[in-house]
Amino acid sequence: MLHSPDIVDQDTRRWLERAVIGLNLCPFAKGVYVKNQVHFAISPSSDGREVLQELERELNDLVALAPEVRDTTLLVLPEAFADFLDFNDFLAEADALLARLGLEGEIQIANFHPRFQFAGTAEDDITNCTNRSPYPTLHLIRESSIDRAVEAFPEAEAIYEVNMATLERLGEPGWRALDVGPSPAAPACGKLGP
């Protein structure tokens, strides 16, 4: 079943506003979001090769624009990589593409998935939610933006621990109450969600 791009966009923005910004999981996200410097690209592709082509296009588009116009891109993949391990395997191809394009050191690719699971955690560990999104998502981030953010937030390495503590305080009921999963009209990649 194909997901409506409008619903996917709406769900992704709700997750970004309520979880990423609302819980301050990324202290740098609000600034670029309120300035409309976040580009949302919704992919219709279910094939990994097609996703790689779209990723290449989005990477080229990002570096071609000034950060004031487009600081970061979220490439949302509602039709691809329902299995987290498949998605995780694809990340090696995404990093290889960065290298082929000569963008290592200029762009980083962060990843989010509805079934994200840190190594060594149980599937239902609430701390996994720090990296759970409504749909598989590749976040294309400029290294220069990360550097500026780290200067403004000198204890950036502590964000991970703070996020885990935030989720532990929130708990599963609190996470569910945020309603940051896929809309009912857009089936989840897995059973997790609202």
Residue 191 covered by a domain: no
Residue 135 tokens, joined: 């749909």
Residue 1: pLDDT band with limits 50, 70, 90:
low
Residue 155 covered by a domain: yes
Matching residue, tokens 């532990």: 168
Residue 185 covered by a domain: no
Residue 188 covered by a domain: no
| Local structure of 10: helix, strand or coil | helix
Residue 157 tokens, joined: 């390495």
Residue 192: pLDDT band with limits 50, 70, 90:
very low
Residue 112 burial (CB count, 10 A): 22
Percent of the chain at pLDDT exceeding 90: 79
Whole-number Å distance between alpha carbons of 174 and 168? 10
Q: What pLDDT is stored for residue 189 in this prediction?
A: 44
- Residue 23 DSSP symbol: T
Whole-number Å distance between alpha carbons of 78 and 8? 7
pLDDT at 185 over 80: no
Mean pLDDT across 93-122:
96
Residue 108 covered by a domain: yes
Q: What is the mean pLDDT of the chain?
A: 91
Tally of structural domains, the chain: 1
Residue 186 covered by a domain: no
Residue 187 covered by a domain: no
Whole-number Å distance between alpha carbons of 43 and 168? 32
Query: Under 8 Å CB-to-CB from 118, ≥6 apart: which residues?
Result: 125, 127, 128, 131
DSSP per residue over 141-182, as a string? EEHHHHHHHHHHSTTGGGHHHHHHHHHHHHHHHHHHHH--S-
Find the domain containing 59 and state its range. Answer: 5-178
Q: What pLDDT is stored for residue 126 in this prediction?
A: 96
The pTM score is: 0.91
Residue 56 covered by a domain: yes
